[in-house]
């Protein structure tokens, strides 16, 4: 470590103003503070600070996403193996296939997003902010595996620039960056974001998983199947037409966006976030509560014209991106409600609206993304009313005095 520190100290002057590489000062600073805790000491106010900083916060969220990421890789492989009619599922081959399928997407998302962050940080003469470390891993996880890389790059760039940077960077954005990326893809390139051919990777990669897709293959996600369901009964199947149980949906060996199929892994991530106190349990709990209540209402009056109303509440909570949105998206502290009473309202309404859209608008089988984005827009209003009640309490106190 000492030699690394010495090396950094030696090359540091080149990055300072007037140095040869001063255009990369923010990048150097970013790497230096990543490797060594800054030795800046407090100049005013408190002389000691808590060890928690935004790097720690972001890295805990990334850690909480790792179960979903690993399972997502496995599931990409598994769905492929299933679709080419294999009955043997060799673990490492599946993982390798999934890894190779996901890696370019991760790289594109990080290179485009962090690249923009680096440039903006240098332009503003600021430190590089860590927000995109999380967004960069979220983006591939909430997109279908077959999304073309150039679309991912365009959507990521659009989202980082117009949703985050023009508002001032991490901490100032109104909408969740990763979700806007998905929304841009969803509305801009709908044929690549839904349907039955984008959620399962069908080609072979580097010689892995060679074979033709079996007859009767359908890569539609359960929610996609629901949207096109007719009649009074609902049967959900996997890619080769076998029926799905609630357990399959919970474990997540179903087609869907890469990271959001496994409710089990999402719950492991939720446990990490709640145990460390990084995410708000108020939001998480109330999203699930809201979703459950709305799903129960819908399920109480099932209708053939709205097939999703035939899903039980538990199916509603395990399918699609609902759980993922509840745990990783709704809890983003920057775009969520910031007051404690506000968090309950914010979370509950996300749950309700997600199921509402999903059930009663067949055109949008995935309601969670829209619900979170909609409530992002309303979070300041919710906070406003909570703050207003504090102000009224203070005014009342003044009046009773006089």
Partner 1 sequence: MAKAIKLKKGLDIRIHGVAPSERLKRIIPASCAVVPDDYQGITPKIDVKEGDAVLAGSVLFHDKQYPDVKVVSPVAGTIQSVVRGERRKLERIVIIPSQTPEESKRFDTSGIDDSVLAQRLLLDSGLWAWMRQRPFNIVPAPGTEPRDIMVTGFDSSPLAPDYEMSLDGHKEDINAAVRLLGKFTKGNIYIGIRRGSCLTDIKGAETIIFDGPHPAGNAGIQIANINPVNKGDVVWTLDAVTLMRIGHLVNTGTLDMNVDVAVTGCEVKTPGYINTIAGADIASLTEGNIHDDNVHHRIISGNVLTGHPVGKDSYLRFPYNHITVIPEGDDHAEFMGWASLSPQKMSVSRSFPGHFTKRLFCPDARILGGRRAMIMSGLYDKVLPMDIMAEFLIKAVISRNIDRMEQLGIYEVAPEDFALCEYVDPSKLELQKILQEGLEYIRKELN
Per the CB < 8 A criterion, the answer to whether 72 and 141 are in contact is: yes
Least distance CB 194 / partner 1 (angstroms): 33
Cα atoms in the 13 Å half-sphere on the side-chain side of 304: 4
Asked whether the CA dihedral 211, 212, 214, 219 is positive or negative, the reply is: positive
Q: Applying CB under 8 A, does 3 fall inside the site for partner 1? A: no
**DSSP three-state, residue 205:** strand
Find the binding residues for partner 1 in span 19-38 (CB under 8 A).
33-38
Q: Choose which of 60, 183, 294, 350 interacts with partner 1 (CB under 8 A).
A: 60
Tell me, by CB under 8 A, how many residues bind partner 1.
63
Burial classification of residue 139, based on how many CB atoms lie within 10 Å of its CB (0-12 exposed, 13-18 middle, 19 or more buried) = buried
DSSP letter at 375 equals H
* Nearest-approach distance from CB 327 to partner 1, in angstroms: 17
Quick one: CA dihedral 258, 260, 261, 262, positive or negative?
A: positive
Is 13 an interacting residue with respect to partner 1 (CB under 8 A)? no
Q: Does 197 bind partner 1 (CB under 8 A)?
A: no
- Residue 310 C-beta: closest distance to partner 1, Å: 38
Residues shown for the chain: 402
Positions in 314-373 near partner 1 (CB under 8 A): 333-334, 336-340, 343
Residue 119 touches partner 1, criterion: CB under 8 A: no
The only residue of 10, 20, 125, 401 in contact with partner 1, by rule CB under 8 A = 401
Closest to 147 in 3D by CA, of 197, 96, 95: 197
Query: CA-to-CA distance for 246 and 232, rounded, in angstroms?
Result: 19
How far from chain centre, in Å, is Cα 199?
A: 17
Nearer to partner 1 (CB atom), residue 82 or residue 375? 375
Residue 124 interacting with partner 1 (CB under 8 A): no
> For residues 249-278, which are near partner 1 according to CB under 8 A?
275-278
For the bound state, the minimum distance from the C-beta of residue 371 to partner 1, rounded and expressed in Å, comes to: 20
Could you tell me which stretch among 209-217, 257-265, 296-304, 385-393 binds partner 1 (CB under 8 A)?
Answer: 385-393
Closest CA to 291 of 225, 356, 372: 356
> Would you call 362 helix, strand, or coil by DSSP?
coil
Exactly one of 27, 57, 308, 356 binds partner 1 (CB under 8 A); that residue is: 57
Residues that bind partner 1 (CB under 8 A): 1-2, 4-5, 33-57, 59-60, 127, 129, 131, 168-172, 275-278, 280, 333-334, 336-340, 343, 383, 386-387, 390-391, 393-395, 397-398, 401
């Amino acid at each position: 470590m000492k030699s690394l520190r010495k090396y950094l100290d030696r090359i540091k002057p080149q990055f300072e103003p007037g140095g040869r590489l001063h255009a990369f000062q923010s990048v150097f600073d970013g790497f230096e503070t990543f490797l060594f805790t800054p030795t800046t000491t407090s100049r005013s106010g408190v002389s000691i600070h808590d060890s928690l900083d935004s790097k720690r916060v972001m890295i805990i969220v990334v850690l909480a996403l790792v179960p979903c990421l690993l399972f997502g890789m496995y599931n990409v492989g598994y769905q492929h193996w299933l679709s080419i009619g294999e009955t043997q599922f060799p673990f490492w081959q599946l993982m390798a296939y999934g890894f190779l399928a996901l890696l370019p997407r991760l790289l594109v998302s990080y290179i485009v997003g962090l690249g923009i962050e680096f440039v903006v940080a240098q332009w503003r003469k600021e430190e590089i902010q860590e927000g995109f470390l999380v967004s960069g891993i979220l983006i591939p996880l909430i997109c279908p595996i077959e999304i073309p890389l150039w679309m991912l790059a365009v959507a990521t760039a659009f989202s980082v620039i117009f949703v985050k940077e023009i508002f001032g960077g991490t901490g100032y954005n109104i909408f969740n960056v990763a979700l806007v990326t998905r929304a841009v893809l969803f509305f801009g390139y709908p044929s690549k974001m839904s349907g039955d051919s984008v959620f399962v990777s069908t080609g072979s990669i580097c010689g892995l998983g060679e074979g033709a897709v079996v007859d009767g293959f359908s890569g539609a996600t359960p929610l996609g199947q629901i949207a096109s369901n007719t009649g009074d009964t609902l049967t959900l199947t996997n890619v080769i037409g076998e029926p799905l149980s609630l357990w399959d949906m919970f474990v997540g060996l179903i087609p869907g966006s890469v990271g959001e199929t496994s409710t089990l892994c999402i719950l492991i991530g939720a446990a990490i976030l709640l145990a460390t106190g990084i995410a708000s349990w108020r939001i998480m709990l109330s999203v699930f509560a809201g979703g459950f209540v709305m799903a129960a209402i819908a399920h109480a009056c099932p209708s053939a014209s709205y097939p999703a109303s035939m899903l039980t509440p538990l199916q509603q909570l395990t399918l699609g991106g609902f759980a993922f949105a509840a745990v990783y998206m709704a809890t983003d502290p920057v775009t969520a409600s910031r007051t404690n009473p506000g968090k309950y309202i914010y979370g509950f309404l996300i749950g309700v609206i997600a199921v509402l859209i999903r059930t009663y608008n067949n055109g949008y089988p995935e309601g969670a993304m829209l619900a979170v984005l909609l409530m992002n827009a309303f979070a300041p209003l919710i906070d406003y009313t909570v703050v207003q009640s504090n102000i009224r309490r203070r005014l009342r106190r003044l009046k009773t005095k006089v």
